Amino acid sequence: MNEANEKRIAANLAKTLAMLCVRNTKLEDLHAGVSPATRTGDHSDVVVIDAEGRKIPWTEVSHLDDETLRALMRQIVDRFYTFHPKADDPGLRETIDRWAAASGAWDDPEIDQGRLGAGTDRLTRTEVKSGKRSMRT
């Protein structure tokens, strides 16, 4: 197979996996909320007032608490896990084909050079506190 075909197949697979395993998850619930208006475009002019009365700049607000992120990551990992061993299942195959067509209109992916270098991973706050790495936190 030539390099152009390999890249096309890899791009289509990446977009399909993103649609099946990431896009249609609890992430949609997080996206469904009201987005605050901003005049600066970077939300530096937006403030959140919490239950304690603290005014927190939007750019400093954690938009996902640990439990929400944990639940999202579990769902994504479970979907990737389902995809790989069950890709030939007729029901999943039908879903893959349907969403592959929908994700086909997305921009083509690019190689993430940061993933290729050593030591570029960010640890979560939980991992830093516990000294452990965990895919599901």
Query: What's the whole-number mean pLDDT along residues 62-90?
Result: 91
Asked whether the beta carbons of 127 and 137 are under 8 A apart, the reply is yes
Q: Which of 20-24, 30-34, 93-97, 121-125 has the lowest mean pLDDT?
A: 121-125
Q: Which residues pair with 47 in a beta bridge?
A: 57
Assigned domain for 51 exists: no
Structural domain count, the chain: 1
Range of the domain at 101: 3-33+63-111+122-130
**Is the pTM here over 0.85, yes or no?**
no
Assigned domain for 136 exists: no
Task: Please report, to the nearest 10 degrees, the dihedral formed by the alpha carbons of residues 101, 136, 72, 54 taken in order.
Answer: -140
Assigned domain for 56 exists: no
Assigned domain for 28 exists: yes
The pLDDT value given to residue 116: 87
